[in-house]
Structure 1
Amino acid sequence: MRNRIEISITLLLMWSILHTSCLSGKPEPEETKEEPMEVKVAQTPPMGWNSFDSYGVYLHEEAAMANLEAFAEKLKPHGYEYFVIDAGWFGEFKLKEGTMYPAEKHALTLNFNEYGLLQPSQTYFPNGLQPIIDRCHELGLKFGIHLMRGIPRAAVEANTKVKGTQYHAQDIADTTSICSWNPQNYGIDMSKPGAQEFYNSLIDQMAEWGVDFLKYDDLVPYPKEVEAIANAIEQSGRPIVYSLSPGGNVDANAINSFKRANMLRVTPDIWDDQKGLDECFAAWRKWQGHEEPGFWIDMDMIPFGQLQLMSPKPNGIDGDESKGEIEKKIKDGELEDIELLAGKGWTRHSKFTKDQMYTFITLRALSASPLMMGGDLPTLDDFSLELITNKDVIECNQNGVMGSLVYEDDGIEIWNTPKKEGTGGWIGIFNRSDVSKMTSLSMADLKLGNTEDYAIIHDIWNNKQVNDLNFEINPNGVIFLEYEY
């Protein structure tokens, strides 16, 4: 009986203490919170739209909203999800009088806050980026944005504070490290106190805005900053796809640093010409086999449709001149008042032939390169839309296997992408020459084994079953096959 009384008194005392604590406003002991589950991003090659091919670094609010709505209507039903605004969104550009067209290649004046963090341009985004970000999420899409490595040079001159620290911009900037093609920023010396904290503060701002995708430029040659930004993304707590640029001469020895990101650009900027296609094939050879879920080899955007809409062709220009030829004409006084803007060339529809377009999108499918459309979406032509939303292209691409070269002879290349799960796969027979080719191939050439080992071969672009391996392939054209065992 005594034991029961002692237990009752103990329970009464515990209840009294708890009740008094509640009445006095003292907090109850905190419950142990479970760590949030890690969200693994980019398990398949990301699919989306990037504004650079169509708007350079001059995308403005009206065009952004129009492309976002067109994205939701035309691309989202096919699995595209990332809407990415490229560089320039922070620039207070000088404009040609009475227009939205830029009068300078890169803005001399940048909008940044007291911590050196970039803010939306009042010139091109007078209502800020938040309405676009919010609308993107309302539509069930994900929002992406472009950043340049480092810290604005103007912020270093102003010696802005590094948020949450005792350090300033001049304490962390590497003033000897300046991008050769966009001098707006200094690099950051990651050995300096406050350097990581700056990147943390910048990525925290991106996370607060609701950014889901970061395209980070002028970064590939700087593995320490690649890793610093990866650390900043991880500490932010927001799942963000991390894309590295630029491509071109990429050091394969830094692959471990690159794999802290989700996409690695391995080509220069790719435009609507054969040179760009050739650069993609060269990169494919070098990087085949480096892909894995969460890390993809990126061959830049898809330059289909209307391009360079903010760069109308000036008087005195044919449109086919090289940059060097135009610079010479300006120097010689033949051309006046012309600013060579970001991107390549002037306002135009993609100059790819249909065969080049078939080759381009087949290459992207077989190589598992992220599908990032570059052309203007509201004005996109039907043929371009059919190619980028083709179900076989998307299925092959999202299979997530970078195909390998299995045959090469007399300008003909055969690339094979097996299915990751199950049997079968896809074949691309590319004519890399400028003349038509007649080919007569064997199963051994396709590396598919004996005839009895397969059930069917389907010609995707001609939509028919293949009964033999004799093909005529147009110049720079392709035969795209799916095979099943």
Structure 2
Amino acid sequence: MIELRHSSSIGPRATSSPMKRDGDSSPLIPENYPDDDEDRDRHSSKDRDRPFSSYSFHSWCPFFGDDSRVSPYNSRISLCLLVVLVLAGLISAFSIVNHWNAPYLCKKDGIVLHCPLVKEGPSLWENPYSTTTSWKPCAERRDGGISDLPTENKTNGYIFIHAEGGLNQQRIAICNAVAVAKIMNATLILPVLKQDQIWKDQTKFEDIFDVDHFIDYLKHDVRIVRDIPDWFTDKSELFTSIRRTVKNIPKYAPAQFYIDNVLPRIKEKKIMALKPFVDRLGYDNVPQEINRLRCRVNYHALKFLPEIEQMADSLASRMRNRTGSSNPYMALHLRFEKGMVGLSFCDFVGTREEKAKMAEYRKKEWPRRYKNGSHLWQLALQKRKEGRCPLEPAEVAVLLRAMGYPKETQIYVASGQVYGGHNRMAPLRNMFPNLVTKEELATKEELAGFRKHVTSLAALDFLVCLKSDVFVMTHGGNFAKLIIGARRYMGHSQKSIKPDKGLMSKSFGDPYMGWANFVEDVVVTHQTRTGLPEETFPNYDLWENPLTPCMYNPKQLVNSALELSCIFPPYSSSPDCAGPSFTKSNVFRNKDLNLRGGLTGDYLLVIVVLRFLYKFTFVVNSCSFIGEYGIEGRSAEPYIVECACTGVSFFRVSSKNLDDVVPDQASSPPRGWNSYDSFSWTISEVEFLQNAQNISESLLSSGYEYVVVDFLWYRRKVEGANPDSLGFDVIDEWGRMVPDPDRWPSSRGGKGFTEVAKKVHDMGLKFGIHIMRGISTQAVNANTPILDITTGQAYEESGRKWSAQDIGIKERTCSWMQHGFMSVNTTLGAGKAFLKSLHTQYAEWGVDLVKHDCVFGGVDLDMNEISVVSDVLKQHPIVYSLSPGTGATPGMAKDVSGLANMYRITGDDWDSWGDVASHFDVSRDFAAANLIGANGLNGKSWPDLDMLPIGWLTDPASNEGPHRYTNLNPEELRTQVTLWSMAKSPLMYGGDARKLDVQTYHLLTNPTILEINSFSSNNMEACFPYITPANSGTRSWIATGRNGEVYLALFNLSPDDTFITAKIPDIARALPGKNLEGASCNCTEVWSNSFVGITNVSVSAPLVSHNCVLLVMNCTV
């Protein structure tokens, strides 16, 4: 048995040369054995059991031995020395006894480590301090904002780069290439991935990344083309000629270097290659907006191919279900490959033969650093003390055990071939046997397609680590930096542990360090090394810590006088003024913030980060002109906002307008995803969170912020269960529905949807659930008591306790689920108490949207229950949605619109043309009744045309998940999305988001469609006469935009092709207050993204069956 110690601090070395070190010199083995192999073997078993203090005892006190060679003179000296030692021992006896009795850190038996157990801490699987920070990401694309991208013919030229190295080094190079193109106003040719001598892999950009998404997402920032322009005929010159290459770019060059030295050559030659291009752009010597653009590329534009994303999702799901139920998992990035060990020039555990081979390897690969090897031991000592050596697997095992992670921890290992193989990994695997790699999680067949490109396999590791509950790095490198940076940017709620290797070296090298002290040091030190955002410093690493300018903290913006460019990206040349960006709105009172810059008076600081909510008019004083925006709110008057140029940009409005500035609930039609069309009622927690993650990554930036679990999340998925079965639901003691624990394992222990909601919120999304009317038949049959939330006890009134059978109205069951639910008698206090306990619980779970079914439309209308639930939800920021809407009329809607935020006005909409066509008459009637955007619960309300059955779907009333593609053809899909947008219906995507294809993505994220859906007004079906071969089957909708543009949608519902012509005067008469007499209109068709032309007479369009055109008309008189 021996101690786990680092040789850097225990005892002397036999030699300073790494070529001549003892074969057993090791951080795991004491170094007091003699050099002679035979002698060492003869005494090894004896020495292993000797305490550290006894190794040189006879050399200190020879007269206690029987050696006849000891002289009296030497004995007297020894006696004196002994007296001195005894006196010193008496003085510090207590300390010595404590030191001698200090327990070993971990004991080693062969290749097996034995460390004491540590009590599992309460926050092993979450970042306990994440809730104390308020940092938010702000590098996403600003849809609807100002684009300063010049026209194509004004580009300064083209730049071409090789992204060299491994996958993560290439990723950084691509981000830098976009930034450099922006700095020089140049067009970027899609980078070529060029592997170095280690990454020998012929991979193209399109083999790893989604090129279409990359180009489209950055279209307002930088112009990117797929290939070298056709007019440049000698392409080989670009790869070989020095005349076409800029080679003198220094590392971490400032932006000004590119403007002064590179841009002139690009303007002269039109196309230039930049090489080498590794780390050729600095961080604190470039504008903050450029750094933010690099984050935009890294976190939003660079997406792996769908097949890579899907495989990674599958691997992560398998990691979370290895125990048979939902379990968290750790991802360990183990950097102990031969190349890393060699390059580090650190000492490591190994045999004499291993050390000799490593010395030869280093001498061959890095001869200048190696020289004759005589200086390397001191270098290794220094690097070890400074914490610059990669952690060995055994050290990782001890660290994780000290942190409290149990033996059962599921660990995904992302690593190359570990140097030393099985023996090196044995201590880690013994202490944590559940070590898994992608090769063990997936079959050879599943990975076969990814083995074509090494970078594809690296991408899988990257994504599985990114999705882990805890990520642990063991050494530096781009992989770990990018993972930690991304997890910080995404909300830093997941732990990203960056070990303090200096502490590890000090602790392992301290012979008196006991296990209890070691554990305390490790836990305390690593409380703040869990991936929280950190303040930046000069020449900080943007990839590991994207804090500024890619994130912002509203609580610190003013008091710390941080640069506000993250909130107000500069559009003027003035460094002190900034323009608005649109994401969400935060309002602070001057008296609460102690504003700097000498601002006085009763003002509000309005941090304008809006997403599809409001539009502001900025009147800029004492600053360069920025731009103007109109405003819509509760008041028709514009708000005057001033930019105070005082070193920090402020925007001010009078406090009397506070109510007008705070946004309404559902101020525009809600957007999101609903599970029903793809999973019916069968969705599980894993499937739901996978979809939520995809929505967050793909559609959140376009305003799709709600993810909704549709019906029967409480029904057990067992034989005999179906949508109208009875007796399969999970209810609590108060008769309330709770999630099926088999499908939703995080709900166990009475947690409900709390954990799911938290994970959804951590993704930047909002969480919604579907509920049925009243109370379940199962609760009534069980006659469960009713909870009084004011007392926490059973509800009592009139001297008795009330139960489910007292409030259930058996004669009023749901018409389409008669065995499942019935109405509640809301005239009774007990009935109201039940509904209050129900929806208060949802609020406690963290629910942001409630879809209340079987209460609105036709025979199921229940105004009493709607009113009671609305009163409860009024106290919470929860969007209230009503369903199913079958047989709904405008008259019904006028009664409920003020009580809800969205309400269905049709039955279920599925992927058939008949369903799509049936919505035209209904949406026309509700628009004519002025119900679009009417007053609603704590805000506005919207007629709901049902979710969009597009993408990967299931079947109506199915007991299975998604298994087919939508039946609607491309023309019918465009028609549906256009009508939903023009009618300002909520947009709820129904397909399986894990299989979001390019066509569906473009349908859902078309910027004009979203602009119309959020901000247009005067939306209606137009009744002006059009000229067509046959009027039957043709429809048109019209609306006005916030900048005065006219939106005109023409639909052909008939089975035959047709040709539609509409005259400009007729269009003008359909719009109230719109005078187009003698106007000339520029017309652009949205779906083809083509400029149609200029007209002052009419617009015409040929339309195939079931197709539409959507025109944007900018008219001037």
Same fold (TM over 0.5): yes
Structure 2 equivalent of residue 291 of structure 1 = 932
The equivalences for 1:148-297 within 5 A come to 148-164=772-788, 165-166=795-796, 167-182=802-817, 183-220=819-856, 221-234=861-874, 237-254=875-892, 255-288=894-927, 289-292=930-933, 294-297=940-943
Please, which of 764, 780, 786 is the counterpart of residue 140 of structure 1?
Answer: 764
Residues of 1 paired with 2:829 and 2:663: CA distance?
A: 30
Whether 1:305 and 2:940 are equivalent positions in the alignment is no
Whether 1:414 and 2:1040 are equivalent positions in the alignment is no
CA displacement, residues 330-381 of structure 1 (integer Å, 9 cap, x when unaligned):
xxxxxxxxxx6369x9832001010001101111111100010000001121
* Larger CA deviation: 359-368 vs 436-445: 436-445
- Secondary structure, counterpart of 1:404 in structure 2: strand
CA displacement, residues 215-254 of structure 1 (integer Å, 9 cap, x when unaligned):
00001111111111101212xx320000000112014333
Structure 2 equivalent of residue 426 of structure 1 = 1047
Q: With structure 1 as the length reference, what TM-score do the two structures score?
A: 0.80
Structure 2 equivalent of residue 117 of structure 1 = 736
Larger Rg: 2
Please, which of 33, 42, 62 is the counterpart of residue 686 of structure 2?
Answer: 62
- Secondary structure, counterpart of 2:758 in structure 1: helix
Whether 1:386 and 2:1002 are equivalent positions in the alignment is yes
8 Å contact 2:722–2:959 — kept in the other structure?
A: no
Q: Which amino acid aligns with 2:906?
A: T
Whether 1:376 and 2:992 are equivalent positions in the alignment is yes
8 Å contact 1:88–1:107 — kept in the other structure?
A: no
Structure 2 equivalent of residue 482 of structure 1 = 1112
- Secondary structure, counterpart of 1:481 in structure 2: strand
8 Å contact 2:695–2:993 — kept in the other structure?
A: yes
Whether 1:349 and 2:965 are equivalent positions in the alignment is yes
Residues of 2 paired with 1:346 and 1:54: CA distance?
A: 5
CA displacement, residues 98-149 of structure 1 (integer Å, 9 cap, x when unaligned):
xxxx853345311111111111102311222333211111111100000001
CA displacement, residues 239-282 of structure 1 (integer Å, 9 cap, x when unaligned):
00000001120143332234200001001100111111122112
Q: Which amino acid aligns with 2:933?
A: E
CA displacement, residues 43-80 of structure 1 (integer Å, 9 cap, x when unaligned):
10000000000000111112111101101111101111
Residues of 2 paired with 1:365 and 1:134: CA distance?
A: 31
Deviation at 1:402, TM superposition (A): 6.3
- Secondary structure, counterpart of 1:144 in structure 2: strand
Q: Which amino acid aligns with 2:805?
A: Q
**Inter-CA distance 214–245: structure 2 relative to 1 (3 Å threshold):** same
Please, which of 429, 433, 439 is the counterpart of residue 1060 of structure 2?
Answer: 439
8 Å contact 2:890–2:925 — kept in the other structure?
A: no
Count of aligned pairs = 410
Structure 2 equivalent of residue 40 of structure 1 = 664
* Larger CA deviation: 182-191 vs 269-278: 182-191
8 Å contact 2:951–2:996 — kept in the other structure?
A: yes
Please, which of 88, 91, 99 is the counterpart of residue 712 of structure 2?
Answer: 88
8 Å contact 2:712–2:723 — kept in the other structure?
A: no
- Secondary structure, counterpart of 2:1003 in structure 1: helix
Structure 1 equivalent of residue 444 of structure 2 = none
- Secondary structure, counterpart of 1:245 in structure 2: strand
8 Å contact 1:292–1:400 — kept in the other structure?
A: no
Residues of 1 paired with 2:895 and 2:736: CA distance?
A: 28
CA displacement, residues 184-234 of structure 1 (integer Å, 9 cap, x when unaligned):
111111122211111110010000000000000001111111111101212
Structure 2 equivalent of residue 403 of structure 1 = 1019
- Secondary structure, counterpart of 1:388 in structure 2: helix
Identity %: 29
Cα RMSD, aligned residues only: 2.1
Please, which of 466, 472, 478 is the counterpart of residue 1102 of structure 2?
Answer: 472
* Larger CA deviation: 438-447 vs 113-122: 438-447
Residues of 1 paired with 2:864 and 2:681: CA distance?
A: 26
Q: Of the two structures, which has the highest relative contact order with CA contacts closer than 8 Å and spacing of 6 or more?
A: 1
Structure 1 equivalent of residue 1083 of structure 2 = 457
8 Å contact 2:746–2:756 — kept in the other structure?
A: no
Deviation at 1:86, TM superposition (A): 0.3
Residues of 2 paired with 1:227 and 1:481: CA distance?
A: 41
Residues of 2 paired with 1:82 and 1:224: CA distance?
A: 27
- Secondary structure, counterpart of 2:1047 in structure 1: strand
Residues of 1 paired with 2:1080 and 2:831: CA distance?
A: 57
Q: Which amino acid aligns with 2:943?
A: I
Deviation at 1:386, TM superposition (A): 0.5
**Inter-CA distance 198–271: structure 2 relative to 1 (3 Å threshold):** same
Residues of 1 paired with 2:1083 and 2:812: CA distance?
A: 53
Q: Which runs of 5+ in 1 are unaligned?
A: 1-36, 96-101, 312-322, 324-339
Deviation at 1:401, TM superposition (A): 3.5
Q: Which amino acid aligns with 1:444?
A: P
Residues of 1 paired with 2:918 and 2:1084: CA distance?
A: 28
CA displacement, residues 454-478 of structure 1 (integer Å, 9 cap, x when unaligned):
5422111121222252211110100
Structure 1 equivalent of residue 983 of structure 2 = 367
**Inter-CA distance 78–346: structure 2 relative to 1 (3 Å threshold):** closer
* Larger CA deviation: 110-119 vs 463-472: 463-472
**Inter-CA distance 426–137: structure 2 relative to 1 (3 Å threshold):** same
- Secondary structure, counterpart of 1:175 in structure 2: strand
Residues of 1 paired with 2:755 and 2:951: CA distance?
A: 26
Residues of 2 paired with 1:224 and 1:42: CA distance?
A: 23
8 Å contact 2:952–2:962 — kept in the other structure?
A: no
- Secondary structure, counterpart of 1:174 in structure 2: strand
Deviation at 1:418, TM superposition (A): 1.5
8 Å contact 1:223–1:258 — kept in the other structure?
A: no
Deviation at 1:400, TM superposition (A): 5.3
8 Å contact 1:270–1:276 — kept in the other structure?
A: yes
The equivalences for 1:99-110 within 5 A come to 104-108=722-726, 109-110=728-729
Residues of 2 paired with 1:378 and 1:275: CA distance?
A: 27
